[in-house]
């Protein structure tokens, strides 16, 4: 694949969200598992909103503000089952205009 | 601890399956509560989207009068793409351009809102912005749902789970396990707006008619999946979806949005979407496990419809019509059970399964029962084949002084170089068998 | 205490797009919401009801779909809702809107006397902030705009004390009921409705009034006819004729680009450098 | 329904009375002449928007060939004559002063009555107010009392060449479009204009004018609303975006609230203020007072640096009047580059520290040279 850079934040900027400030609906259960036990860290490239970021020190951080609520992160974390996944509180999260 | 039922039925979710179920029950005079977590019906829902008229016709025969339909499809293109070219078929017929039309592009957020207005006209109560946290059990029977609001418990004789592909409620209740990554596709899509005239010119269509392009090949970076481009009234939906397990195991660690961006830059696609203003970027899972992945779909006081039950025909890219049909059949089962004064235990709801078995839903899913496995075991369908075909086509039509017979030999040699003859024959047989 | 809260259903203006070629508004896909400023007023009204008891009646002028906005307010705890809807209202500017809403409030007051009318500070689509003052004027109500806090309500003496945002500070104002209040934004947070309230709201029969139901007789005062202002032109922004000068990061490094930029800025704006230095020295 | 921009009458044509509405000015109303500006003052200070409006009124009056009047309402011990003299230097020809004990400190009821009486007595053609909490409160009440048209939050005022009416342009629908609004058959034509949209006029100390005095005729006992107290904002170093010389603004492109410290750093070095966009304010990254744009503040700095801001029109209308605009954005197609003077396509998180360092070094060097 040729190298192109895609800024997913620019894409997400077009979307309509009602962020439930202070109440992330997805949580990493145990951050140490991501850092030390998970090698692939596939959530950091499979998440279509790039909510999961691999940091320089090998940790994985999660910011759910841009979440598209697809569920991929939960399903692919089969080896570690380390994603605590719920839907956002009613009325919050992504609000598709066209769908 | 069983509370008295406040409703005959609760429907969780206001997508096509939930709306079909709520509409059918409300029409029959049942007291229905429908609970949707989005701000409005459709605000959490994503589809390409193609609407097949038939399933909706059986629920709302005159839907064409006021449903928000974008364009009816008069042309279907199937493209195989290599790095910088495509080979394809275009099927276009005036037969598709005569009402009543059979297929339409729609924008789901608008369509679901419309469908929901019909559901409410039929008499169902809808509450939005409310997430159902879990099912309420009385022993082994579902008797209601618990929502994320204060005093959030509500009770009904039966709960229809139309809560989408993640099937959160049934999963939490232990009705079925997590969907495996190999049984679900992750699709991303953008909606690109452009003047209506531009769409008419670029796709050679009229004011109301439109084109569908389905694509396989290099665009999926070796993963099992397809790309699509649909024409709406004044926008284009463009997307790509691959099996989630393939995304996870992709050695290139290609992100879905990068995949889509690359597809948009393909020289065969870029001119079609040039100048389009991206106004929404969406992602969604599609249950593609097919027949073998359908879970138990009813039990004591509960039924599953739509994506939540995995009702998608991946080969024909059909989902919403299966969803509506499952919703309708589940509703009819409830209506019959109610009329019979049943206790809504599993035995009184099994008519749902047999009605499904008799319908196109299970018949089609059965017909293609082995397709997902065959395709998945043979990634060449998505990788080398499109390349080979494109190469072959180019060789045949390039006028360069080489005779056609020699060219055929070249093509054949190229095919064999890429894949052994026995493999080619075997593939053809497998594919034929899988989608026959 | 009987409180009337006037709301408007508005397009979520953050989502409005302009057609790239024709410069017309593309409303498709723009969701309709309760004007966010109105919710601060509604919440304040509900708090007064929680404290003093009584009734909150919602009033809205708009198309039939605005029923949804009113239903939402019912779920938050409003007791009743009236939608004044009539084709004759189309094209109303703020003056005509305040006339129609005033008629609505008067009609509601016939059922039960009104102590306080709330409106939003302004709408997010029109941004005029004129309808609240307009209703107050027409009804002869004391007007309290940009209220940041309701300090005290004395039911016996029928007085109310509020803090009102002004330039550089807040005014503490005391007045008599009935009055009209517009709340400043971010002065409270709308409650999350409970489930029984949601179910109640879903089934609530919002009252729909035609112009006659609202007691409007003078057709010259509503809709386009009753609007002194004329929208003569709608247009998108014009691109600046001068082109942007790009400083290329690909061919030179960050430091050089920064130095280059500083030179360009100070050449373009000769007095800026000395202004900055003056600041530095003082 | 306010100001829904349905393009009604074409600007040039004499409107034929669409929907049976009256668009002709009656003979009686043709007598209304002159441009008025409400001079907003509180506790000894005139709000700068009033002078900006006097400057703008001057241009309108010159086009129409009429006079500019400043209107001052206040208490007997307030220096209204001094304010009037200042108004003359900015371009006013006349001043109307109404002094009364009940007019000390703004209250809607006496001010509405006073303003309405003055308008009815002297009949101005155009009446402008600042779009402040005082100006908007008063304008709405006065316009409703007079049953005339009022256009809020204007960004441009012109005289329509055909009808000679005030053509007031304002952003609408959250700033994605502009619309021009006219009041054809009613007088006065009223408009509010937000601070910093119009240029501050140059004062001409030689200019003078006439003052006309009027009385209100209201008794305190008859006024229902009492002003009990004024609590000045405690925070003395409060954010003052509209009048800052240098503003460094950050947008969602900064990725997270922590990165805003890079913006603050550069602003500190330049002795400027920090601005932001609606999405950042909505996400709670910065205070609401820092929002630049249609729903935030209009600014007019000498230098405006936008980092990680796409430049949606909503933001653009708030900052495009800056003398020099510098944009830093990763997307070369971002609309900010359509109205910036200088652009850098790059990551703001890297460009900002480099700029901060370069500015600091440059200013340090120059101040040594100056000293």
Q: Please report the pLDDT score of residue D1 as a whole number.
A: 39
Instruction: Calculate the average pLDDT of chain D.
Output: 90
Q: Please report the pLDDT score of residue C234 as a whole number.
A: 82
Instruction: Give the pLDDT band of residue B420 (cuts 50, 70, 90).
Output: low
Neighbours of chain D (3+ CB pairs under 8 A): A, C
Q: Please report the pLDDT score of residue C280 as a whole number.
A: 67
Give dist(CA D159, CA D161) in Å, integer: 6
* A65-69, B275-279, C96-100, D91-95: least confidently modelled range: B275-279
Instruction: Calculate the average pLDDT of chain A.
Output: 91
Residue B312 lies in a domain: yes
State the sign of the Cα–Cα–Cα–Cα dihedral D132, D134, D136, D142.
Answer: negative
Would the CB atoms of D283 and A63 count as touching at under 8 Å?
no
Give dist(CA D87, CA B162) in Å, integer: 69
Would the CB atoms of B193 and C26 count as touching at under 8 Å?
yes
| Radius of gyration, CA atoms only, chain C | 24
The better pLDDT of the pair D342, D15 is held by D342
The better pLDDT of the pair C275, D223 is held by D223
CATH number of the domain enclosing B158: 3.50.50.60
Q: Please report the pLDDT score of residue D3 as a whole number.
A: 45
Q: Which of B110, B152, B280 sits opposite C195 (nearest CB)?
A: B152
Among residues D252, D251, D249, the alpha carbon closest in space to that of D266 is found at D249
For every residue of B269-290, DSSP letters joined together read: THHHHTT-EEEEEEEEEEE---
* C18 pLDDT higher than 70: no
Domains and CATH numbers, chain D: 22-222 (3.40.50.620), 246-370 (3.40.50.1220)
The better pLDDT of the pair A10, B191 is held by B191
CATH 3.40.50.720 is the classification of domain C2-221: no
Mean pLDDT across B255-274: 96
* C8 pLDDT higher than 70: yes
Statement to judge: residues B121 and B171 lie in one domain = yes
Statement to judge: residues B268 and B388 lie in one domain = no
Tokens of A32: 């140490």
Residue B401 gets the label, from left (phi > 0), alpha (psi -120 to 50) or beta, of left
Question: How many structural domains is chain B composed of?
Answer: 3
Q: Please report the pLDDT score of residue B348 as a whole number.
A: 97
* D295 pLDDT higher than 70: yes
Instruction: Give the pLDDT band of residue C239 (cuts 50, 70, 90).
Output: low
Residue B96 lies in a domain: no
Q: Does residue D221 sit at the C interface (CB-CB below 8 Å)?
A: no
Q: Does residue B156 sit at the C interface (CB-CB below 8 Å)?
A: no
d(CA D108, nearest CA chain C) in Å = 7
Residues of B in contact with C17 (CB under 8 A): 193, 277, 279
Mean pLDDT across D125-139: 96
What ranges do the domains of chain C cover?
Answer: 2-221, 239-282
The fraction of chain A above a pLDDT of 90, given in percent, is 67
Domains and CATH numbers, chain A: 8-94 (3.30.70.20)
**CB C96, CB C226: distance < 8 Å:** yes
Tell me the pLDDT tens digit for each residue of C132-171.
999 999 999 999 999 999 999 999 999 999 999 998 889 9
Statement to judge: residues B23 and B148 lie in one domain = yes
The better pLDDT of the pair C218, A45 is held by A45
Instruction: Give the pLDDT band of residue C281 (cuts 50, 70, 90).
Output: low
Three-state secondary structure call for residue C174: strand
Would the CB atoms of A99 and B190 count as touching at under 8 Å?
no
Which residue, B287, B308, B332, sits at the end of a domain?
A: B287
Widest CA span in chain A: 41
Instruction: Give the pLDDT band of residue D10 (cuts 50, 70, 90).
Output: very low
Give dist(CA B52, CA D23) in Å, integer: 52
Statement to judge: residues B139 and B46 lie in one domain = yes
* B159 pLDDT higher than 80: yes
Tokens of A61: 């951080």
Mean pLDDT across D87-98: 98
Write the CB contacts of B366 (distance below 8 Å, at least 6 apart in sequence). B291
Residue B81 lies in a domain: no
Q: Please report the pLDDT score of residue C282 as a whole number.
A: 59
Instruction: Calculate the average pLDDT of chain B.
Output: 92
Q: What is the ipTM of this complex?
A: 0.84
Mean pLDDT across A24-40: 96
Give dist(CA D111, CA C145) in Å, integer: 14
Residue B409 lies in a domain: yes
Q: Within the 59-88 window of chain A, which residues sit less than 8 Å (CB to CB) from chain C?
A: none
Statement to judge: residues B52 and B159 lie in one domain = yes
Instruction: Give the pLDDT band of residue D11 (cuts 50, 70, 90).
Output: very low
Q: For A37, which DSSP code?
A: I
Q: Does the predicted model carry a pTM greater than 0.90?
A: no
Instruction: Give the pLDDT band of residue B317 (cuts 50, 70, 90).
Output: confident
**Nearest residue in chain A measured CA to CA from B134:** A86
Statement to judge: residues B61 and B171 lie in one domain = yes
Tell me the pLDDT tens digit for each residue of B15-42.
999 999 999 999 999 999 999 999 999 9
Tell me the pLDDT tens digit for each residue of D26-39.
999 999 999 999 99
**Nearest residue in chain A measured CA to CA from D330:** A7
Residues of A in contact with C71 (CB under 8 A): none
In the numeric block, the tokens 């596939």 are attached to: A42
Interface of D with A (CB under 8 A): 252-253, 255-256, 279, 283-284, 310, 330-331
Would the CB atoms of D284 and A21 count as touching at under 8 Å?
yes
Instruction: Provide the domain limits for residue B239.
Output: 182-287
d(CA C194, nearest CA chain D) in Å = 25
Statement to judge: residues B111 and B38 lie in one domain = yes
Q: For B227, which DSSP code?
A: E
Statement to judge: residues B208 and B150 lie in one domain = no
Three-state secondary structure call for residue C8: coil
* B254 pLDDT higher than 80: yes
∠ at Cα D136 (D133, D138), nearest 5°? 105
Neighbours of chain C (3+ CB pairs under 8 A): A, B, D
Would the CB atoms of D256 and A63 count as touching at under 8 Å?
yes
Count helices and strands in chain C by DSSP H and E runs:
7, 15
d(CA A15, nearest CA chain C) in Å = 9
What is the β-pairing status of strands C2-7 and C55-61?
Answer: parallel
Give dist(CA D55, CA A31) in Å, integer: 62
Tell me the pLDDT tens digit for each residue of C243-254.
899 998 888 889
Statement to judge: residues B163 and B312 lie in one domain = yes
Statement to judge: residues B168 and B135 lie in one domain = yes
Q: Which of C89, C169, C229 sits opposite D181 (nearest CB)?
A: C229
Would the CB atoms of C15 and A16 count as touching at under 8 Å?
yes
Mutate to test the interface with D, among A9, A24, A51 (most CBs of D within 10 A): A9
Give the number of A-B residue pairs with CB atoms closer than 8 Å. 151
Give dist(CA C94, CA D108) in Å, integer: 19
* B344-358, D88-102, D309-323: least confidently modelled range: D309-323
Q: Does residue D121 sit at the C interface (CB-CB below 8 Å)?
A: no
CATH number of the domain enclosing B214: 3.30.9.90
Mean pLDDT across C5-34: 74
Statement to judge: residues B224 and B159 lie in one domain = no
Statement to judge: residues B171 and B186 lie in one domain = no
**Nearest residue in chain B measured CA to CA from A1:** B221
Q: With an 8 Å CB cutoff and a minimum of 3 pairs, decide whether chains B and D touch.
A: no
Q: Hey, how many other C-beta atoms are within 10 angstroms of the C-beta on B420?
A: 11
Three-state secondary structure call for residue D243: coil
Q: Please report the pLDDT score of residue B373 as a whole number.
A: 81
What is the β-pairing status of strands B302-304 and B298-299?
Answer: antiparallel
The better pLDDT of the pair D65, A17 is held by D65
Q: Does residue C274 sit at the A interface (CB-CB below 8 Å)?
A: no
Q: Please report the pLDDT score of residue B390 as a whole number.
A: 73
The better pLDDT of the pair B383, D69 is held by D69
Q: Does residue A19 sit at the D interface (CB-CB below 8 Å)?
A: yes
Would the CB atoms of C31 and A98 count as touching at under 8 Å?
no
Residues of A in contact with C12 (CB under 8 A): 16
The better pLDDT of the pair D3, B142 is held by B142
In a 10 Å sphere around its CB, with 0-12 CB exposed, 13-18 middle and 19+ buried, how is residue C238 labelled?
A: exposed
């Amino acid at each position: 694949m040729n190298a192109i850079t895609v800024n997913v934040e620019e894409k997400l900027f077009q979307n309509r969200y009602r962020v439930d400030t202070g109440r992330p609906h997805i949580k990493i259960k145990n951050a140490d598992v991501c850092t030390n036990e998970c090698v692939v860290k596939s959530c950091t490239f499979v998440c279509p909103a790039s909510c999961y970021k691999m940091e320089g020190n090998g940790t994985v951080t999660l910011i759910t503000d841009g979440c598209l609520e697809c569920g991929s992160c939960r399903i692919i974390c089969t080896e570690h089952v380390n994603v605590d996944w719920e839907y956002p509180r009613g009325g919050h999260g992504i609000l598709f205009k066209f769908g | 601890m069983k509370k008295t039922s406040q409703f005959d039925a609760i429907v969780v979710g206001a997508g096509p399956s939930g709306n079909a179920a709520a509409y059918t029950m409300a029409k029959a005079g049942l007291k229905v509560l429908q609970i949707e977590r989005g701000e409005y019906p459709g605000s959490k829902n994503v589809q390409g989207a193609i609407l097949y008229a038939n399933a909706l016709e059986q629920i709302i025969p005159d839907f064409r009068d006021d449903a928000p339909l974008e364009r009816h499809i008069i042309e279907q293109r199937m493209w195989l793409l290599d790095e910088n070219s495509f080979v394809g078929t275009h099927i276009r017929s005036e037969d598709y351009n005569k009402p009543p039309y059979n297929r339409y592009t729609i924008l789901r957020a608008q369509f679901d809102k419309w469908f929901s207005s019909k559901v409410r006209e039929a008499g169902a109560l809808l509450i939005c912005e409310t997430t159902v946290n879990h099912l309420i059990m009385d022993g082994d029977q579902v008797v209601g749902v618990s929502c994320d609001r204060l005093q959030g418990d509500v009770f009904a004789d039966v709960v229809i789970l139309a809560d989408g592909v993640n099937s959160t409620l049934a999963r939490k209740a232990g009705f079925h396990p997590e969907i495996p990554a190999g049984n679900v596709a992750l699709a991303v899509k953008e909606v690109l707006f452009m003047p209506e005239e531009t769409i008419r010119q670029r796709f050679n269509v009229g004011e109301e008619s439109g084109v569908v392009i389905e694509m396989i090949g290099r665009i999926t970076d070796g993963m099992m999946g397809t790309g699509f481009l649909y024409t709406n009234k004044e926008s284009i939906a463009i997307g790509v979806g691959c099996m989630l397990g393939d995304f996870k195991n992709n050695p290139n660690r290609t992100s879905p949005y990068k995949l889509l961006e690359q597809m948009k830059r393909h020289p065969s696609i870029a001119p079609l979407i040039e100048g389009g203003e991206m106004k929404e970027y969406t992602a969604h899972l599609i249950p593609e496990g097919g027949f073998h992945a359908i879970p138990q779909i009813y039990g004591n006081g509960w039924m599953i419809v739509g994506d939540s039950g995995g009702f998608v025909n991946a080969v024909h890219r059909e989902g919403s019509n299966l969803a509506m049909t499952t919703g309708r059949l589940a509703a009819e089962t409830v209506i019959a059970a109610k009329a019979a004064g049943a206790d809504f235990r599993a035995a009184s709801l099994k008519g749902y399964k047999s009605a499904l078995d008799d319908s196109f839903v299970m018949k089609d899913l059965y017909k293609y029962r082995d397709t997902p496995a065959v395709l998945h075991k043979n990634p060449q369908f998505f990788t080398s084949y499109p390349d080979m075909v494109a190469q072959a086509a180019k060789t045949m039509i390039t006028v360069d002084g080489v005779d056609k017979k020699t060219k055929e030999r070249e093509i054949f040699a190229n095919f064999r170089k890429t894949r052994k003859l026995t493999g080619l024959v075997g593939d053809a047989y497998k594919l034929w068998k899988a989608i026959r | 205490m009987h409180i009337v809260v006037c709301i408007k259903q508005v397009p979520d203006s953050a989502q409005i797009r302009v057609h790239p070629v024709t410069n017309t508004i593309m409303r498709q896909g723009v969701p309709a919401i309760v004007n966010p400023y109105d919710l601060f007023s509604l919440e304040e009204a509900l708090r007064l009801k929680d404290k003093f008891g009584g009734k909150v009646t919602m009033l809205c002028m708009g198309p039939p779909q605005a029923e949804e906005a009113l239903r939402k307010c019912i779920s938050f705890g409003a007791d009743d809702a009236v939608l004044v809807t009539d084709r004759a209202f189309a094209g109303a500017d703020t003056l005509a809107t305040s006339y129609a809403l005033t008629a609505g409030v008067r009609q509601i007051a016939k059922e039960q006397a009104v102590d306080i009318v709330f409106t939003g500070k302004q709408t997010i689509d029109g941004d005029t902030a004129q309808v609240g003052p307009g209703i107050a004027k027409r009804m002869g109500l004391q007007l309290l705009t940009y209220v940041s806090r309701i300090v005290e309500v004395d039911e016996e003496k029928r007085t109310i004390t509020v803090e009102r945002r002004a330039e550089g500070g807040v005014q503490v104002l005391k007045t008599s009921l009935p009055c009209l209040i517009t709340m400043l934004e971010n002065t409270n947070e709308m409650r999350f409705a409970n489930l029984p309230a949601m179910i109640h709201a879903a089934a609530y029969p919002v009252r729909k009034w035609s112009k006659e139901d609202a007691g409007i007789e003078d057709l010259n005062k509503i809709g386009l006819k009753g609007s002194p202002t004329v929208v003569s032109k709608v247009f998108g922004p014009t691109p600046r004729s001068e082109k942007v000068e790009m400083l290329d990061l690909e061919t030179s490094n960050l430091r050089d680009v920064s130095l280059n930029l500083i030179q360009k800025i100070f050449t373009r704006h000769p007095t800026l450098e000395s202004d900055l230095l003056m600041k530095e020295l003082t | 329904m306010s100001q829904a921009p349905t393009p009604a009458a074409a600007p040039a044509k004499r409107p034929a009375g669409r929907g049976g509405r009256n668009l002709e000015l009656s003979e009686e109303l043709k007598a209304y002449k002159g441009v008025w500006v409400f001079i907003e003052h509180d506790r000894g200070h005139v709000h700068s928007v009033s002078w900006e409006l006097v400057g703008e009124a001057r241009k309108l009056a010159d086009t129409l060939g009429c006079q500019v009047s400043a209107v001052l309402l206040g208490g007997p011990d307030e220096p209204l004559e001094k304010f009037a003299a200042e108004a003359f230097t900015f371009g006013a020809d006349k001043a109307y002063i109404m002094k009364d004990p009940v007019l000390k400190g703004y209250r809607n009821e006496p001010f509405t009555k006073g303003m309405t009486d003055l308008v009815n007595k002297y009949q101005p053609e155009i009446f402008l107010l600042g779009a402040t909490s005082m100006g908007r409160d008063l304008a709405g009440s006065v316009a409703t009392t007079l049953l005339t048209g009022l256009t809020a939050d204007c960004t441009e005022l012109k005289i329509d060449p055909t009808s000679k009416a005030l053509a007031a342009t304002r952003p609408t629908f959250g700033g994605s479009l502009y619309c021009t609004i006219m009041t054809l058959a009613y007088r006065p034509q009223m408009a509010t204009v937000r601070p910093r949209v119009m240029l501050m006029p140059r004062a001409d100390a030689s200019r003078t004018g006439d003052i006309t005095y009027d009385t209100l005729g209201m008794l305190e006992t008859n006024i229902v609303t009492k002003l009990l107290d004024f609590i000045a904002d405690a925070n003395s170093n409060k954010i003052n975006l509209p009048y800052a010389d240098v503003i460094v603004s950050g947008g969602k492109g900064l990725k997270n609230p922590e990165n805003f410290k890079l913006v603050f750093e550069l602003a500190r070095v330049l002795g400027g203020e920090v601005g932001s966009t609606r999405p950042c304010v909505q996400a709670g990254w910065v205070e609401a007072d820092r929002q630049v744009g249609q729903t935030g503040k209009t600014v007019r700095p000498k230098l405006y640096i936008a980092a990680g801001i796409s430049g949606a029109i909503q933001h653009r209308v708030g900052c495009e009047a800056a003398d020099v605009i510098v944009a830093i954005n990763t997307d070369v197609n971002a609309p900010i580059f359509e109205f910036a003077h200088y652009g850098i396509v790059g990551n703001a998180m890297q460009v900002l520290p480099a700029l901060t360092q370069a500015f600091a070094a440059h200013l340090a060097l120059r101040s040594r040279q100056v000293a």
